[in-house]
Amino acid sequence: MNCFNQKLNSSCRQLKYNIIIIVLLALLQHLSATHFDTSQCGASKRCVIGGCPQQNNQQLNNCHYFFSVKPDMENADESVEIELFTKKSSPETKYIAVGFSEDVSMGDDYVTYCVVNPAGQVEVHLGKNPPGQKSNQAAGEANDAGVLEMLESKATEDGIFCRFRQHYIASNKYSPNLKHPYHLLLAKGPAENPQKLDMHDLDPSNPTDFPFASAEPVLLLNPEDAAKFRDSGSQNTSGSPQATGAAKGGNGLTFVDLHGILMLISWLGMTTVAIYSARYMRDSWPHTTVMGLKIWFHIHRTLNFLAVILMVASIVFIVWNKGTWTGPWFGMAKIGAPEWHSLAGAFAVLLAFSQPFGALIRCGIDDPKRPIFNWIHRSIGLIAFLLAQVAIYLAISTFKSHFALADFAFCFLIIFYVALVIFIVVSEVLRFIELREREKISAIEMQTRTRGSTPSDAYYYHTRKNFSSKLVSARRTLFFVAACTFAGSAFILVLLVLVH
């Protein structure tokens, strides 16, 4: 009897263990079914993974954007199965979206997104980014029908996951052509409701939140994938993690890079020297002229003229790349640093472009209205220069992905501004001393002439000679140092763009 009881207890314990194991296996299967499985990347699906901190770019657990695509085995020629997963950066993160873009820039792109509704359930919808805008226009349920089919989804405190089937319907303007290669743009952020997504993060220095773009186009619907994945012999060519959250366009410079390079050269390397020359170098070569004009004027005019040419070329590059106005506009929901950069830069270039034409109609040097022209010319130039510095500051602090050592580039720009202020202060002090000395010399000259003497007595002559020689030498040396500093600073920042 005791033996029977022992066997019964042993059987009960074994049954309990089996039940626990079955429950755990079922739970693990459920969790694996509703989370992104990276082990299948390259075996049964193609993956694109991004939003990885640069110091941990080989550890997939640290990445925030996960995308996979594979042929729909039921209809491998017309539809695909897509998986999206993102880690929540905050409780406000309500959607994970993938944009299908012809380039690596947002605008005029097809969008498919998974969003958490007020009930905590995940929905999948179509959308589109209007040209030149960082916003999403929902397609509406009528356009979703027949294109999207949710297979699995889950929203937790840690992330959002969805797996869905997507078809291609040529007559649906929100449906991307699955047989066409696209750059994939992955983004996440808050949402007011499933039909209205809010702006994603705009700080490129934060790759875990900033949108991620695949460096190479991805062909979503590739009929060969079905056979390859069945044979499990393919290699993962697009599933390796990316080391940055920046939108890269492959090797080489982009039009955006060229835009920045030309603006840095024109505003930091040329215009600063031109303005400095006009303000502080007028009396440095008083008896030397080239083609009847003083040297300071040649420096001022030549550098400004070349700078305006570079500015115009830079605007052409950025307009060609963006295709539309990217600054603030009526009805825009949110205006951030990128929009203010565009606005400040546009006004700066417009004012700078007007300066050569204004100079063509300036009155003669002895005309009573000449001071009015001078003040207008100076005011426009100063406003343009200040607006340009605002635009450059916003560019370096916002578009960090376009600079190698982005934090160093930002700190270097601040150092440049400090150096610029120091040069201005020192030059103004020298200018003040010069005016004071001239007043003293004029007073001595008047006194000697009143006594009937000539203004060539020893004291006046030596004072004038020593003052003139020392001042000219100091002014020329300071100009040389300032010009080298301005040009060198522009060169270093341009170099950081070239090697990024």
* pLDDT tens per residue, range 54-90: 655 556 777 889 999 988 877 777 889 999 999 988 8
**Could you read off the pLDDT of 374-394 as tens digits, one per residue?**
899 999 999 999 999 999 999
Q: Do the domain assignments include residue 249?
A: no
Could you tell me if 349 and 494 lie in one domain? yes
Is 215 a residue whose pLDDT tops 90? no
Q: Do the domain assignments include residue 23?
A: no
> What CATH number did the domain enclosing 146 receive?
2.60.40.1210
Bridge partners for 300 per DSSP? none
pLDDT band at 11; cut points 50, 70, 90? low
**Amino acid present at 153:** S
Could you tell me if 208 and 337 lie in one domain? no
Could you tell me if 185 and 267 lie in one domain? no
- Give the number of domains in the chain: 2
The domain boundary residue, chosen from 226, 246, 272? 226
Could you tell me if 341 and 303 lie in one domain? yes
- Euclidean distance between CA atoms 435 and 469, whole angstroms: 15
- Strand 289-290 versus strand 293-294 pairing type: antiparallel
- Across all residues in the chain, what is the average pLDDT? 80
Q: Would you state the structure tokens that stand for residue 298, as one six-digit string?
A: 């040649």
Higher pLDDT, 278 or 442: 278
Could you tell me if 192 and 315 lie in one domain? no
Is 247 a residue whose pLDDT tops 50? no
Cβ contacts of 152 within 8 Å, gap of 6 or more: 33, 34, 161, 162, 163
pLDDT band at 243; cut points 50, 70, 90? very low
Higher pLDDT, 381 or 475: 381
Could you tell me if 56 and 185 lie in one domain? yes
**Could you read off the pLDDT of 337-351 as tens digits, one per residue?**
888 999 999 999 999
Q: Is the dihedral of CA 178, 182, 187, 193 positive or negative?
A: negative
Bridge partners for 96 per DSSP? 114, 188
pLDDT in the model for residue 349: 96
Could you tell me if 219 and 261 lie in one domain? no
Whole-prediction pTM value? 0.61
Domain that holds residue 293: 255-499
> What CATH number did the domain enclosing 441 receive?
1.20.120
> Worst-scoring range by mean pLDDT, 8-17, 101-110, 268-277?
8-17
Could you tell me if 218 and 275 lie in one domain? no
Could you tell me if 90 and 151 lie in one domain? yes
- Euclidean distance between CA atoms 48 and 236, whole angstroms: 10
Higher pLDDT, 462 or 43: 43
pLDDT in the model for residue 398: 84
